[in-house]
């Protein structure tokens, strides 16, 4: 018997601020999806010492499916990382998570968002373009594992962009508070 995918049960998806207790699960995701994963210490420092950092998790039934982080400085949000567990990739969860991050950044006063992405990561670039991100430059040798260049992308944080991306019946469109972001409601990490 096959189980419904997380996206088929999107009404049970929940977004919340990352907590120190989440770090082990987050590091496991990092190791699954990134060639140069962040360490537990790096996340601990982000949550406890970086006053500009805002990290959130996407979970379902207590299982963390993905997470995203950003630094909020003045009126800009800089995405530090965004990841979905390998087994859940390709189901639209990255789209939901990015939309939630953009809404949260906007709610917290950011007008623009930036990120870096590997020049070879065309799948992620397509996702970012759907949300209005446009290339603005290259950071040569940015990734330490293979010295690959990073494409710098920027987007204006306009609600119509992420609203257009949300499917009918999604928590953000239906007003389902369980699926709405508590990260934007001032929960402490």
Strand partners, 130: none
pTM: 0.81
- Show which residues are catalytic: 116, 128
Average confidence (pLDDT) over 150-166 = 82
The reported pLDDT for the residue numbered 144 is 85
Residue 62 has pLDDT above 70, yes or no: yes
Q: Name all domains of the chain by residue range, CATH numbers in brackets.
A: 10-171 (3.40.630.30)
The model's confidence at residue 170, banded by pLDDT at 50, 70 and 90, is very low
- Are 153 and 115 in contact by the 8 Å Cβ rule? The answer is yes
Strand partners, 104: none
Phi, psi of 169 (to 5 degrees): 85, 0
In 50-145, where does DSSP find H-type helix?
93-107, 122-130
């Amino acid at each position: 018997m096959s189980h419904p995918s997380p996206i088929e049960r999107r009404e049970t998806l929940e977004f919340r601020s990352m907590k120190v207790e989440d770090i082990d699960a987050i590091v496991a995701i990092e190791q699954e999806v990134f060639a140069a994963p962040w360490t537990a210490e790096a996340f601990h420092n982000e949550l406890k010492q970086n006053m500009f950092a805002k990290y959130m998790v996407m979970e379902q039934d207590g299982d963390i499916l993905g997470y995203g982080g950003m630094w909020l400085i003045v009126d800009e949000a800089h995405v530090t990382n965004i990841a979905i567990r390998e087994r859940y990739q390709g189901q639209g969860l990255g789209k939901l998570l990015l939309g939630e991050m953009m809404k949260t950044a906007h709610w917290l006063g950011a007008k623009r968002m930036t990120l870096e992405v590997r020049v070879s990561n065309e799948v992620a670039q397509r996702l970012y373009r759907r949300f209005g991100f446009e290339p603005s430059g290259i950071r040569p040798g940015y990734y330490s594992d293979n010295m690959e260049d990073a494409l710098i992308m920027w987007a204006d944080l306009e609600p119509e962009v992420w609203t257009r991306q949300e499917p009918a019946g999604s928590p953000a469109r239906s007003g389902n508070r369980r699926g709405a972001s508590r990260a934007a409601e001032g929960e402490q990490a």
